[in-house]
């Protein structure tokens, strides 16, 4: 079934129409978070891309089945070009925070869902966890060994034989003969692999005692890449109409996933590989070492509507590198406030011209179906805002209707402060006292508690002020 939605396919390097192989339902797989830390705003940009596609399909009358995995085991620390150089990210963080690795996973998984809810992301149909789908991975690895696409190395790890998949490299352009020996220099693999670009599907536990499972090849844990093959093949029944992820996952993660999945079933599993581009913040790449990582909570802590982040992303094409700034976030926040105030006025101004509304919405949908050109569609929305020939009621109807795609809550009314519960008022008072006593640890703790209750705080020389998020 054709959908009329065209998106850039990284592998074909061209626009490709999204087609639902299974009738009306488009099957989508989006690589999810590795839950050892909070997702930063760059990661959230990719997750919002999935939401935009899902909303566009729904608006166009199609169903979608979106699967997003939660990686809670097997994702090793990497260097800048994807070489695995450290230990499991979950176990490393578990040492830093001195708590059980599975508790780390559940903590950051909860934060991930909190962020998605604040950004108005429609939940995926399922969020399978790596640690709960080990059986699927073991079955797939056994099949790959049986068909000679994988082998047991001399170190007890199971490796995928890269040369057994001659079409390796078509997504990223990184063909096997151009990958130099030493590309992967994970020490446990030295000499155990048949070919330097082979990668581990199953890793022997060696000295590791946590997050390990039994397998036909001894105790160990899965590699990161096999997780996405196992999940997409199982939950989407071997057919992925759209596969989403950040551009940094194009290689090696998606090349390896494609090789594994296609080798297992003997056909092209993914129809369209879609990648969201990098996000810079204030002109720089975000990194922990540079100390410039921005989380959604940082946006909220500045008193900005989290949906201002959503608006900023919609005003830039998903496959353009984007430079997000505090200034653009503040401008988006002001725009949302202005639109919501105008919506209140417009509702009572004149009659709704239904024909205009349906033509306007069709025009916007046409833009968005052309490789998700939301910047162009939003320019038209801004022109409509200022168009004096169109009645207020008609404008409000257009905004309301298109909000099903934008998810910006145009019709939301600001909540009155008087509605704060006694619990919130009590926490606010305690925080105010903590600040007066210069107990900043306590004050930050209370701020986090209030954040979870939907309250953002602004501190100034005049004291603390608060608002609903
Ligand atoms: Zn993945």
Domain that holds residue 303: 279-406
Residue 413 lies in a domain: no
Q: Are residues 192 and 315 in the same domain?
A: no
Tell me what pLDDT residue 186 has: 45
Same domain flag for 323 and 246: no
User: Which string of b and e fits 281-318 if b means at least 16 CB within 10 Å?
Assistant: beeeebeeeeeebbbbbebbbebbbbbbbbbbbbbbbb
Q: For position 196, what pLDDT does the model report?
A: 87
How far does residue 365's CA lie from ligand 1's centre (Å)? 29
Shared-domain flag, residues 372 and 440: no
- Give SS3 for 466: strand
For residue 215, report the distance from its CA to the centre of ligand 1, in Å: 22
Q: Please give the tally of structural domains in the chain.
A: 3
In the structure, what pLDDT confidence band is assigned to residue 79 with cuts at 50, 70 and 90?
A: low
Name the burial class of residue 451, with classes exposed (0-12), middle (13-18) and buried (19+) by CB atoms within 10 angstroms of its CB.
Answer: middle
Residues 261 and 288 in one domain: no
| Residue 187 scores a pLDDT above 70 | no
User: Is the predicted pLDDT of residue 80 greater than 70, yes or no?
Assistant: no
304 CA distance to ligand 1 centroid (A)? 31
Could you tell me if residue 146 is inside a domain?
yes
Distance CA 325, CA 327 (A): 5
- What's 12's domain CATH number? 3.40.50.620
Q: Does residue 73 fall inside a structural domain?
A: yes
Final residue before a domain boundary, out of 385, 406, 427: 406
User: How much is the pTM?
Assistant: 0.86
Q: CB of 464 within 8 A of CB of 433?
A: no
Cα–Cα distance measured from residue 167 to residue 134, given in angstroms and rounded to the nearest whole number = 27
Do 126 and 66 share a domain, yes or no?
A: yes
Distance from the CA of 75 to the center of ligand 1, in angstroms? 10
Verify that 302 and 334 share a domain, yes or no: yes
**For residues 220-235, average pLDDT:** 96
Is 42 contained in some domain?
A: yes
How many angstroms does the Cα of residue 363 sit away from the middle of ligand 1? 34
Residue 211 or 359, more confident: 359
CA of 433 to the centre of ligand 1 (A): 47
Q: How far is the CA of 469 from the centre of ligand 1 (A)?
A: 32
Any domain includes 229: yes
Contacts of residue 137, defined as CB under 8 A and 6 or more positions apart, other chains included, come to 130, 201, 202, 222, 226, 227, 230
318 and 219 inside one domain: no
C-alpha distances (whole Å) from 464 to each of 329, 422, 431, 437 are 22, 18, 9, 14
48-64 residue pLDDT tens:
999 999 999 999 999 99
Residues 185 and 198: their CA atoms lie apart, in Å, by 11
Contact residues for 363 (Cβ-Cβ < 8 A; gap 6+): 380
Read off the DSSP letter of residue 163.
Answer: G
Q: Is residue 350 part of a domain?
A: yes
pLDDT given for residue 255 in this prediction: 97
CA of 49 to the centre of ligand 1 (A): 15
pLDDT of residue 83 exceeding 80, the answer is no
Q: pLDDT band for position 464 (50/70/90)?
A: confident
Q: Of the candidates 276, 305, 340, which is a domain's last residue?
A: 276
Q: Same domain, yes or no, for 268 and 378?
A: no
Percent of the chain with pLDDT over 90: 74
Ligand 1 center to residue 285 CA distance, Å?
22
Which of 333, 280, 324, 279 is closest to 302 using CA atoms?
333
Clarify whether residues 243 and 383 are in a common domain. Answer: no
Question: Quick check: is 237 in a domain?
Answer: yes
Q: What is the mean pLDDT of residues 283-310?
A: 91
In a domain, 414, yes or no: no
Q: How far is the CA of 441 from the centre of ligand 1 (A)?
A: 37
pLDDT of residue 296: 96
Beta bridge mates, 64: 26
- Whether residues 309 and 400 share a domain: the answer is yes
pLDDT value, residue 188: 43
**Ligand 1 center from residue 225 Cα (angstroms):** 6
- pLDDT bin (cut points 50, 70, 90) of residue 323 is very high
Average of per-residue pLDDT values in the chain:
91
Full DSSP string of 303-324: T--THHHHHHHHTS-TTS-EEE
Domain boundary among 231, 254, 276: 276
Residues 300 and 202 in one domain: no
Q: Are residues 441 and 370 in the same domain?
A: no
Quickly state the pLDDT bin for 93 (edges 50, 70, 90).
confident
């Amino acid at each position: 079934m054709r959908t009329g939605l065209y998106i850039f396919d990284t592998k074909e390097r061209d626009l490709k129409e999204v087609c639902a192989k299974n009738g009306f339902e488009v099957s989508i797989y989006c690589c999810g978070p590795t839950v050892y830390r909070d997702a930063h705003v760059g990661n959230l940009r990719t997750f919002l891309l999935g939401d935009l596609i899902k909303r566009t399909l729904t608006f166009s009358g199609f169903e979608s089945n979106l699967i997003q995995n939660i990686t809670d085991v097997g994702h090793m620390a990497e260097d800048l070009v994807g070489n695995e150089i450290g230990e499991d990210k979950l176990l490393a963080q578990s040492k830093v925070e001195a708590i059980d690795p599975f508790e780390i996973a559940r903590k950051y998984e909860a934060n991930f869902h909190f962020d998605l809810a604040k950004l108005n992301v429609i939940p995926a149909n399922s969020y399978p966890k790596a640690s709960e789908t080990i059986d699927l991975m073991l079955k797939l690895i056994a099949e790959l060994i049986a068909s000679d696409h994988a082998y047991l190395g001399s170190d007890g790890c199971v490796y995928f034989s890269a040369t057994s998949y001659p079409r390796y490299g078509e997504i990223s352009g990184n063909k096997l003969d151009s990958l130099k020996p030493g590309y992967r220099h994970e020490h446990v693999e030295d000499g155990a692999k048949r070919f330097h670009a082979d990668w581990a599907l199953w890793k022997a536990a060696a000295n590791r005692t946590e997050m390990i499972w039994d397998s036909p090849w001894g105790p160990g844990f899965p590699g990161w890449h096999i997780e996405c093959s196992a999940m997409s093949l199982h939950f989407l029944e071997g057919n992925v109409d759209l596969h989403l992820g950040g551009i940094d996952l194009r290689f090696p993660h998606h090349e390896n996933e494609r090789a594994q999945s296609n080798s297992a079933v003997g056909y092209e599993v993914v129809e369209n590989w879609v990648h969201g581009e990098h996000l810079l913040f204030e002109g720089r790449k975000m990194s922990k070492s540079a100390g410039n990582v921005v989380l959604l909570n940082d946006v909220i802590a500045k008193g900005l509507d989290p949906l201002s982040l959503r608006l900023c992303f919609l005003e830039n094409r998903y496959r353009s590198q984007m430079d997000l700034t505090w200034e653009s976030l503040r401008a988006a926040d002001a725009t949302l406030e202005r639109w919501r105030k105008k919506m209140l006025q417009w509702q009572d101004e004149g009659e709704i011209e239904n024909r205009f509304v349906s033509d306007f919405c069709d025009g916007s949908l046409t833009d968005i179906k052309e490789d998700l050109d939301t910047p162009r569609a939003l320019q038209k929305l801004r022109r409509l805002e200022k168009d004096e020939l169109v009645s207020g009621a008609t404008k409000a109807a257009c905004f309301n209707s298109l909000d099903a795609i934008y998810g910006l809550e145009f019709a939301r009314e600001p909540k009155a402060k008087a509605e704060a519960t006694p619990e919130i008022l009590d926490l606010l008072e305690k925080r105010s006292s903590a600040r007066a006593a210069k107990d900043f640890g306590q004050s930050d703790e209370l701020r986090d508690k209030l954040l979870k209750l939907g309250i953002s705080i602004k501190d100034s020389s005049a004291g603390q002020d608060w608002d609903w998020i």
